[in-house]
Amino acid sequence: MARPIWKGAITFGLVSIPIEVHTAVRDKQLHFHLLTAKDHVRVKYERVSEKTHKPVAWNDLVKGYEYSKGRYVVLTPEDFEAAALAKTRTIDILDFVKAEEVDDRFFDKPYYVTAGAGGDRAYALLRETIRDAGKIGIAKFVLRDRQHLAAIEAIEDALVLSTLRFADELIPASEYSFPSAKGQRAGDLKTARMLVDELSADWNPGKYTDD
């Protein structure tokens, strides 16, 4: 089994379950490198100053936030350290909510959660309890120096953790205009429904391949 990307515990109330988090997706995209056409040698990228057009060494670089065009606030390592979240090793469940209440737009990336040493019984208990209740856990945790919102749900024998987008990361649909349903003719709706019924099938993800 692959090495976990995160180790710690799921906590809620006074309960603490040792767990490990593993990636649940494979990167199947093709990745290319830029080569010289003549001898197929990798091309090196350099950090070049827009002002002098000369390469800049790593120790001469600082990070800056552009607050208006061409104007920056420079941040030091001490600034980032002061703003950093404490690196806890817990996934803290804040609420249990009905799964159908969470809009699909919030879901980002899935991970498998496996039981850590001595956690099998508590892990299975949490999994079966939320499955029976028809709920998912909404949690916060820190991964790679960033706080994440997450959903924990029971899928088959696994607990699956999916990172979620925060509410302010979603663009409201109200910012766009969409066609009205008014004026639809009953005959058109009936014909369209017949087509939908003809194409209806059971969900089989293996049926769909990247061509």
- Would the pLDDT of 82 be above 90? no
Q: So what's the pLDDT on residue 28?
A: 86
Average pLDDT over residues 168-184: 94
pLDDT per residue over 92-142, tens digit each? 999 999 999 999 999 999 999 999 999 999 999 999 999 999 999 999 999
Q: So what's the pLDDT on residue 126?
A: 96
Mean pLDDT for the chain?
93
pTM: 0.83
Domain residues of the chain, as ranges? 1-24+73-197
Secondary structure (H, E, C), 109-165: EEEEEEECCCCHHHHHHHHHHHHHHCEEEEEEEEECCEEEEEEEEEECCEEEEEEEC
**CATH fit for domain 1-24+73-197, picks 3.40.50.2300, 2.40.290.10, 3.30.360.10, 3.40.50.300:** 2.40.290.10
Using 50, 70 and 90 to split pLDDT, how confident is the model at 202?
very high
- Would the pLDDT of 85 be above 80? no
